[in-house]
Amino acid sequence: MKVTMIRTFSVLLLAGVSLVGCLREGSAPLSRANLFPPAGLNAAATDGQEPAFGNTLSNIRKINQKPFNGNLRFVILGDNRNSSPISTGGDKVYAKVIDKINQIKPDFAINLGDFTFDALKPHWNTFERLTSKVQVPYLTVIGNHDMLFGRSYYESRYTRPSPETGLDDYSFEYGNSRFIILDTANYNLTDRQFVWLEKMLQTPQKKFVFTHTPPRHGVWDHKLAPTPEVSARFMGLNEKYKTDFVFLGHIHLYDQRKVGSVNYMVSGGAGAPLDNKDDYGQGVYHIGMIEVNGNQVSHQMVPIQTRIRTSGPTSVTNQIEAHQMTPDVLKQFPPDYIPVEEQANDR
């Protein structure tokens, strides 16, 4: 007997969400934020418009309220979305991610995108409710799933479009480092973005670039399009200006590799169904932790413990074989750690 299942869900129209262009000043002085471009950056900051944990501008203010003592620690995470409009597994993992961030107490955290499965209001509400528990400044990079029905919600509550690029790009400084957030939610980089990126990279400071979609390189799939030249241009600029680290999401695993003189890290394990790649990466839920001590930059993957039932390998031996984990990586795992193994046909 043939059974046909019909999945239904309502679509919430976002076209009516208003975009507010004016900024309301808080108690923190803007002069400490060192924003690029200046004049307030791309943030809507009116009463009731930003989420409980703040928007881009208010969180950068919080970062710069803390005196810089020569050392810096920040956390990256990505792809905390659920696997479908009706699933909640990603939310359960993401709640543990927020707990881990609060335990580490970094100077700030940056989410590399794909906060929701479909960018509908109920799922934004869930993301914001879970994120409201974070105890450190929290910044965002828009992902492809976050604009499935347009950018109105994101741009009204998180980050206003850059006047220089027209997209959700921004940059800020803290201590001896510059942090550059680049919008690749459309799987592309425009000429205006390349001009802006090159200007941002022209600094003697430590440089960190954050974007959602990986460039076309080797085994990385679901890459920047439409042509290989876009990726080559992006990676070429980072090589030319000696970017210290490029952080990427979109692929649901952990991977770190050096291309030329530039370190690249894929961190897409904050809740979405994990990818299993035999040739690269580790299909584990995790966050990345980066420390800047003077001129030295160090990094590590921090696994997230979860007891969600898996459909893949669960024994320690199989984890090592399936994910190519080294003994050093394995030491980071709690004794009862179980990775979530779910097949994902999309990202």
pLDDT of residue 219: 63
Round to whole Å and give the CA distance between 6 and 11.
Answer: 16
CA torsion angle 196 201 203 205 (round to 10): 130
pLDDT of residue 86: 78
Look at residues 216, 218, 172, 171 and name the one whose alpha carbon lies nearest to residue 197.
171
Q: Are 176 and 107 in contact (CB under 8 A)?
A: no
pLDDT of residue 88: 84
Round to whole Å and give the CA distance between 286 and 301.
Answer: 7
- List the domains of the chain with CATH numbers: 32-304 (3.60.21.10)
pLDDT of residue 85: 81
Span 287-333, pLDDT tens digits: 999 999 999 999 999 999 876 533 333 222 223 223 333 444 444 44
Question: Euclidean distance between the first and final Cα of the chain, in Å?
Answer: 32
Span 35-82, pLDDT tens digits: 333 333 333 333 357 899 999 999 999 999 999 999 999 999 999 999
Q: Are 34 and 49 in contact (CB under 8 A)?
A: no
pLDDT of residue 226: 57
For the chain, list residues with pLDDT below 50: 1-47, 309-347
Helix (H/G/I), strand (E/B), else coil: 300: strand
Look at residues 280, 290, 338 and name the one whose alpha carbon lies nearest to residue 313.
338
Residues 6+ apart with CB under 8 A from 154: 119, 142, 146, 147, 168
- Edge-first strand listing for the sheet containing 206-211: 35-36, 170-174, 177-182, 206-211, 245-248, 262-267, 254-259
pLDDT of residue 277: 64
